[in-house]
Structure 1
Amino acid sequence: MSISSTQSQLGHLYPPALWQWFEQICAIPHPSKHEAALSAHIQAWARERDLAVIVDQVGNLIIRKPASAGMEDRKTVAIQAHLDMVPQKNADKVHDFCSDPIEPWIDGDWVKARGTTLGSDNGIGMASALAILGASDIQHGPLEILLTVDEEAGMSGAFGLQAGILEAEILINTDSEQEGEIYMGCAGGVDAKIALPVKWQTADEDHLAYTLSISGLKGGHSGVNIHLGRGNANKLLARFLAGHASELHLAISHLQGGSLRNAIPREAQCSFTIPVSQLESLQTRVAQFETLVKTELAATEPAIKLRLADVQAPQKTLDTESQSRLINLINACPNGVMRMSDDIPGVVESSLNLGVMTTETDQIQIICMVRSLIDSGRAYIESQLQSVCDLAQAQIRFEGCYPGWKPDQQSPVMAIVKDTYESIYQREPEIMVIHAGLECGLFKKPYPHLDMVSIGPTIRFPHGPDEMVNIQTVGQYWTLLLAVLQRIPQRTN
């Protein structure tokens, strides 16, 4: 699949080769765990150009390109991105992420998508790597392009990368999201999966049935945006239930919210029954709660809305004890920023996101994502979650723990990127540690001596339908990346 010049919406932007590749990436569905079609397309393209292609045991794609003339003695550089994207859409958008293309469009200085995530995280980085592979006029030493799978849903690609495949001494990660910032470290994380056993009772036939929905929230990346004070739809719903379920004699039949553990939940809903005598009180409490949260979150969530809709009566509802334990569990579960870093001003040290709630046959499942720059910070949050679950008689397990990327103040490639940026733009970049999880920490296990740095253009609101990438900064990122490749030093042996 390719994009013709007549179909192209972005090909006139700078740099053209990068944007043309990004359009091809958007045209081929590639949500997490469904990257095979995009990988196959890239493999076929690379083999047509006689580039060496490797697909490892977990599906990571490695493509090698020889050095340009006169650069053969330089250190080998790996340019790294991930193949997958976060699949999020607005409630009124009809879109199947496994079959439908992303629809990018230009809105002033930004490229956005129509009603869905754009996939600029990490599609722009991937596009830049592929544009370099296809170019004949770019100076660079020996190159390896590393495209990992499943970064957004568990980092299984980075976990599965084996020692001995990469030849690179330097790795440039392209998954950062702010122009003018150079990242040299990131948070580690772990998924917390909670299962609350529940019992059901026969629903009262003479009660009314309703669904309360919370929507209109901004959501966003649970690492990058966690400090912005945005509403979490799951927590807001639990807050309403904790305050009013008992007085309204409300009986829950279904609960769900959020869709990804690493995206701040934008929507949540609860279905329930209530006595006919409580309907007016319910309507009053919902209106009062909507006014309350709109006032509290006026600056961060101006579009928040609550909707009460009558629905078909359920056959069963939670029994009193199960409902009490459920509401108390979600309401008491910590969420958001837990601690700011003492060492790095303005950076979150530890956080968690209550990302997903689902109702199953005999249990309610909750998935949280814990992040921390330090292992002890992560362990403390795990301890708090364990305590809350013990009190609620819920089971919890921690899965997919991945390490942070410890900053190296003496990194040679960081110095090269910093000096190159200053020489091009006549200003100092900020050297940063990001609270989001980059794959770099996992690469250090099979490749402990790999010198790494992370750069990228400015991306706003990743992991949500408001995601956008700034056009000018894509050009700036491209210029910086090419200049850095020219400055890679010679091999020492």
Structure 2
Amino acid sequence: MSEAIRNLEPKVVWNHFADLNAVPRPSKKEERVIQFMVDFGKNLNLKTIVDKVGNVIITKPATKGLEDRQTVVLQSHLDMVHQKNSDTIFDFDKEGIKMLIDEDWVTADGTTLGADNGLGVAAIMAILSSSNLKHPNIEALFTIDEETGMTGAMGLEGGILKGDILLNLDTEEDDEIGMGCAGGIDITAVRTYSEEEIPKNSTAYSITVKGLNGGHSGMDIIKGLGNANKIMNRLLFDGFTNFGLRISEINGGSLRNAIPRESFALIIVDTISKEAFLLETKLLINNIKDEFLTLEPNLVVEITETNNPKSIVELGVQEGFLKSMYAAHNGVYRMSPDITDLVETSNNIARVIVKDGKIKIGCLTRSSSESNKLDLASSLKSAFELSGFDVTLSGEYPGWQPNVNSAILKVVSNLYENLHGDKAHVAACHAGLECGILGQNYPEMDMVSFGPTIKGAHSPDERASISSTQKFWSFLVAILENIPKK
């Protein structure tokens, strides 16, 4: 199917995307894709450097007639979110993405596609490799580790870039021009527990929550989608309260920036109560399915009798854990009072692991308000600390404050309207873009963000629109031809 992808228009973009998707590029394991980009730049005889944290910077001189224009930084991130369906056999560390075409969409076979932000990378590669496109001086900035900490953007030192304008190619609606984004902070709660023996006359069950949409924990949080960790906790709390359910293991969610699609638990109940437990739990499952029927029609919850585990969680710790999980906020916390339909502050309870005497809960809190970001982080910290958890706050990064007087924003907005006859949707977003971080060391750089339409980012349902990619490419080319003079 890779050959069919390569024949899509614009071929130059899809061919570079296919080449990129053949290279494994998980966050924090970008060595291979860094070398790929270095080889790419050097093969074009363009100045190529790797900074101290691993960002790749490739520079290309202006084409004839555009030497007097402002220098443009084209920026995208190299890493991608690795998510797959539980029944998909795929090794992200060794295999290239298997792509498929479904009408106007390019998708992947049971995994994330990597269009976030691979299509941005591919478009920049197409600019760098072109021999006939008109453009000003270009600094191509390929950052690392955007998805799990933005450490590439954080580690980029001031003075390396000389550009006046930055075009971030990481927005996921082709009629949107980004002028601001949310900041974020990671909340991690951990504690240990004593492993207790299984009581006599116990029956064990495995509980599986699956079939949820998942998605981007920033852009999709407003949809009110199901969170597998919260649904699982609801089931376990009910079983504990009414039937003395005891937990052996939990494995829920995966990445901090992906809404959890699946959760798995191993539990026991007193054998004498198992029939009543199953009846009550199945009624609760039906209620949950009814609640999510419109948003999550494919939600599946399975309870299967299994062999008794070796141990269970200490009783007092289990009770505190379940109550903390219930108390911890998940989803939209506050809408923006200034921008219609924009989430200001949210939290994603992304990862829950209970196993071998240790509990670990991972959350990602986002906000365009620094004070509300810390307010929600403190609320979550308090909920977990009340149950004896040790809580750390880490990976904090700032938001990108909107600049309604941005010169490049006006140029890009006017150009979009001239090309398409309609005004673009100029807005801030609830995702974490690197512009806010980059702006700390480059405060004078004028920035906007745009990109092709991508749906289901951070989930195996990720797909990129073919027609939208054509639109995005034409828009990018036109913008480079119309960069203002110095």
| Match status 1:55 vs 2:50 | yes
| Match status 1:319 vs 2:314 | yes
Q: 2:189 aligns with which of 186, 191, 194?
A: 194
What are the superposed Cα offsets for residues 31-82 of structure 1, whole Å, 9 maximum, x if unpaired? 1112221221221122122100010011000000111111111111010000
| Match status 1:341 vs 2:336 | yes
Partner SS, residue 371 of structure 1: strand
Q: What is the 5 A alignment of 1:460-475?
A: 460-475=455-470
Q: Partners in 1 of 2:135 and 2:305 — Cα distance?
A: 63
1:72 is matched with 67
1:3 is matched with none
Checking the alignment, whether the CA contact within 8 Å between 1:80 and 1:174 is kept in structure 2 is yes
Q: 1:216 to 1:79 in 2, by over 3 A?
A: same
Shift of 1:246: 2.9
What residue identity is the alignment partner of 2:126?
A
Q: What is the 5 A alignment of 1:431-446?
A: 431-446=426-441
2:99 is matched with 104
Q: Partners in 1 of 2:280 and 2:12 — Cα distance?
A: 55
Shift of 1:136: 0.7
Shift of 1:205: 4.2
Shift of 1:365: 0.5
Q: 2:121 aligns with which of 122, 126, 135?
A: 126
Q: Partners in 1 of 2:310 and 2:252 — Cα distance?
A: 21
Q: Partners in 1 of 2:215 and 2:129 — Cα distance?
A: 33
What are the superposed Cα offsets for residues 399-454 of structure 1, whole Å, 9 maximum, x if unpaired? 01100000001111111100110111111101110000000000011111111000
How many residues were matched structurally?
Answer: 486
| Match status 1:357 vs 2:329 | no
What are the superposed Cα offsets for residues 362-386 of structure 1, whole Å, 9 maximum, x if unpaired? 3210000000011111011012112
What residue identity is the alignment partner of 2:120?
G
What residue identity is the alignment partner of 1:388?
A
Partner SS, residue 4 of structure 2: coil
Q: 1:262 aligns with which of 238, 254, 257?
A: 257
What residue identity is the alignment partner of 2:455?
R
Q: Partners in 2 of 1:283 and 1:316 — Cα distance?
A: 22
Shift of 1:338: 0.5
2:169 is matched with 174
TM-score of the superposition, structure 1-length normalised? 0.97
What are the superposed Cα offsets for residues 97-130 of structure 1, whole Å, 9 maximum, x if unpaired? 1111111111011111110000100000000000
Q: Partners in 2 of 1:315 and 1:105 — Cα distance?
A: 43
Checking the alignment, whether the CA contact within 8 Å between 2:250 and 2:355 is kept in structure 1 is no
Checking the alignment, whether the CA contact within 8 Å between 1:110 and 1:469 is kept in structure 2 is yes
Partner SS, residue 472 of structure 1: helix
2:323 is matched with 328
Checking the alignment, whether the CA contact within 8 Å between 1:286 and 1:306 is kept in structure 2 is no
Shift of 1:91: 0.8
Aligned-pair identity in percent equals: 39
Shift of 1:310: 2.6
TM-score of the superposition, structure 2-length normalised? 0.98
Q: Partners in 1 of 2:124 and 2:88 — Cα distance?
A: 31
Q: What is the 5 A alignment of 1:451-490?
A: 451-490=446-485
Q: Cα RMSD over matched residues? A: 1.2
Q: Partners in 1 of 2:73 and 2:216 — Cα distance?
A: 26
Q: Partners in 2 of 1:130 and 1:291 — Cα distance?
A: 50
What residue identity is the alignment partner of 2:325?
I
Q: Partners in 1 of 2:277 and 2:299 — Cα distance?
A: 19
| Match status 1:377 vs 2:372 | yes
Checking the alignment, whether the CA contact within 8 Å between 1:196 and 1:326 is kept in structure 2 is no
Checking the alignment, whether the CA contact within 8 Å between 1:88 and 1:463 is kept in structure 2 is yes
Which has the higher mean CA deviation after the structures are superposed, 126-135 or 25-34?
25-34
1:272 is matched with 267
2:20 is matched with 25
2:237 is matched with 242
Checking the alignment, whether the CA contact within 8 Å between 2:187 and 2:381 is kept in structure 1 is no
1:222 is matched with 217
Checking the alignment, whether the CA contact within 8 Å between 2:255 and 2:350 is kept in structure 1 is yes
Checking the alignment, whether the CA contact within 8 Å between 1:226 and 1:337 is kept in structure 2 is yes
Partner SS, residue 100 of structure 2: strand
Checking the alignment, whether the CA contact within 8 Å between 1:18 and 1:127 is kept in structure 2 is yes
Shift of 1:206: 3.1
Q: 2:443 aligns with which of 423, 440, 448?
A: 448
In structure 2, the gaps of 5 or more residues are: none
What residue identity is the alignment partner of 2:320?
R
Partner SS, residue 393 of structure 1: coil
Checking the alignment, whether the CA contact within 8 Å between 2:228 and 2:252 is kept in structure 1 is yes
| Match status 1:392 vs 2:387 | yes
Q: 1:423 aligns with which of 399, 410, 418?
A: 418
Partner SS, residue 354 of structure 1: strand
